[in-house]
A and B are shown apart, each in its own frame.
Chain A
Amino acid sequence: MKTNQIILHAAVAAALAAGSTAVWAQGKKGVVKIGINETLSGKFVAVGTPPSVAIRLAIHEINDKGGFKVGDTTYTLQPVEVDNRSEGPGVVAGMTKLIEDEKIKIIFGPTVSVLANQAQEMTVPAKVIHLSAAGSWQSLGYLNDPKKPLLFGTQNPLNALARTEIAAVKELGAKKVAYFSADDDTTKGNMGPFLAEAKAAGIEVTTILFPYATADFSSFVSRAKAAKVDSIHFLHPQNSAPNVLRAAVELQAIPKGFSGRQTGAAAALKLAMGKPVPVPYVSAQSTPDLDYPSTPKVKAYAERLRNTGIDLGYNVTFSFFTYDFVHMMAAAMTKAGTVDDTAKIAAVFGSMTYDGVAGKICFATNPRASQYDGTLVSVRNGKVSAKPVPSPCK
Chain B
Amino acid sequence: MNEQVTVFLQHAFNGISMGAVYALIAAGITLVYGLSRIIHFAVGELVMLGAFIALSVWNWSGEFWLGLAVAVPALALIGLVTERAVFRFTLREPLTGFIVSLGLILILQGTAVEIWSPNPQYSQPPLEGSWDVAGVLLRKQAVVNFAIVVAVLALCYLVLMKTTFGKSLRAVSDDPGAAALMGIPVRTIIMTTFVIGSALAGIAGWMVLTLGLITPFVGAIYVLRGFAVALIGGLGNIQGAALAGIGLGVAESLAAGYVGPGWTDAYVFGAVVLILLWRPTGLAGGSEGAKL
Which A residues are closer than 8 A to B by beta carbons?
Answer: 183, 208-211, 213, 215-216, 218-220, 222-223, 225-226, 239-240, 242-243, 246-247, 250-252, 270-275, 314
Given the known inter-chain contacts A213-B221, A246-B212, A250-B137, please indicate yes or no for A220 contacting B124, CB distance below 8 A: no
B220 an interface residue at 8 Å Cβ cutoff? yes
Contact yes or no, B7 A222, CB < 8 A:
yes
Contact yes or no, A208 B261, CB < 8 A:
yes
- Min C-beta distance of B248 to chain A, whole Å: 13
Given the known inter-chain contacts A208-B261, A213-B220, A213-B221, please indicate yes or no for A222 contacting B213, CB distance below 8 A: no
In the bound complex, residues from chain B placing their C-beta under 8 Å from that of A240 are 213
Contact yes or no, B124 A274, CB < 8 A:
yes
Specify the chain A residue showing the minimal Cβ separation from B120.
A239
Contact yes or no, B15 A219, CB < 8 A:
yes
The residue that B213 contacts in the complex, of A183, A242, A275, with Cβ under 8 A, is: A242
B170 an interface residue at 8 Å Cβ cutoff? no
Residue of B129, B137, B261 ringed by the most chain A CB atoms within 10 A: B261
In the bound complex, residues from chain B placing their C-beta under 8 Å from that of A243 are 211-213
List the 7 shortest-distance A-B pairs measured between CB atoms, nearest first.
A274-B124, A183-B262, A219-B256, A209-B262, A218-B14, A219-B253, A243-B212
Given the known inter-chain contacts A213-B221, A250-B128, please indicate yes or no for A219 contacting B122, CB distance below 8 A: no
Residue of B120, B124, B262 ringed by the most chain A CB atoms within 10 A: B262
Given the known inter-chain contacts A208-B261, A274-B124, please indicate yes or no for A218 contacting B142, CB distance below 8 A: yes
The residue that B11 contacts in the complex, of A183, A215, A222, with Cβ under 8 A, is: A222
How many angstroms from the CA of A162 to the CA of B142 in the assembled complex? Answer: 35
Contact yes or no, A273 B124, CB < 8 A:
yes
In the bound complex, residues from chain A placing their C-beta under 8 Å from that of B137 are 250-252
How many angstroms from the CA of A208 to the CA of B220 in the assembled complex? Answer: 23
Interface of A is mostly: helix
The residue that A271 contacts in the complex, of B18, B122, B218, B257, with Cβ under 8 A, is: B122
Interface of B is mostly: helix
Contact yes or no, A272 B124, CB < 8 A:
yes
B252 an interface residue at 8 Å Cβ cutoff? yes
In the bound complex, residues from chain B placing their C-beta under 8 Å from that of A209 are 260-262
How many angstroms from the CA of A37 to the CA of B256 in the assembled complex? Answer: 44
- Min C-beta distance of B254 to chain A, whole Å: 8
Contact with A along B128-168 (1 / 0, CB 8 A): 11100000010110100000000000000000000000000
Specify the chain A residue showing the minimal Cβ separation from B224.
A213
Contact yes or no, B218 A215, CB < 8 A:
yes
In the bound complex, residues from chain B placing their C-beta under 8 Å from that of A225 are 10
B265 an interface residue at 8 Å Cβ cutoff? yes
Contact yes or no, B221 A218, CB < 8 A:
no
How many angstroms from the CA of A179 to the CA of B158 in the assembled complex? Answer: 46
Contact yes or no, B208 A226, CB < 8 A:
no
Contact yes or no, B261 A220, CB < 8 A:
yes
Q: A215-B221, A246-B128 are in contact. List 7 more A-B contacts (CB 8 A).
A: A209-B260, A218-B142, A218-B253, A222-B7, A223-B258, A226-B7, A270-B122
In the bound complex, residues from chain B placing their C-beta under 8 Å from that of A208 are 261
Contact with A along B43-73 (1 / 0, CB 8 A): 0000000000000000000000000000000
Specify the chain A residue showing the minimal Cβ separation from B265.
A211
B17 an interface residue at 8 Å Cβ cutoff? yes
B82 an interface residue at 8 Å Cβ cutoff? no
The residue that A223 contacts in the complex, of B122, B211, B257, with Cβ under 8 A, is: B257
Contact with A along B220-262 (1 / 0, CB 8 A): 1100000000000000000000000000000011101110111
B90 an interface residue at 8 Å Cβ cutoff? no
In the bound complex, residues from chain A placing their C-beta under 8 Å from that of B142 are 218
How many angstroms from the CA of A274 to the CA of B64 in the assembled complex? Answer: 12
- Min C-beta distance of B53 to chain A, whole Å: 18
Contact yes or no, B262 A211, CB < 8 A:
yes
B264 an interface residue at 8 Å Cβ cutoff? yes
Specify the chain A residue showing the minimal Cβ separation from B10.
A222
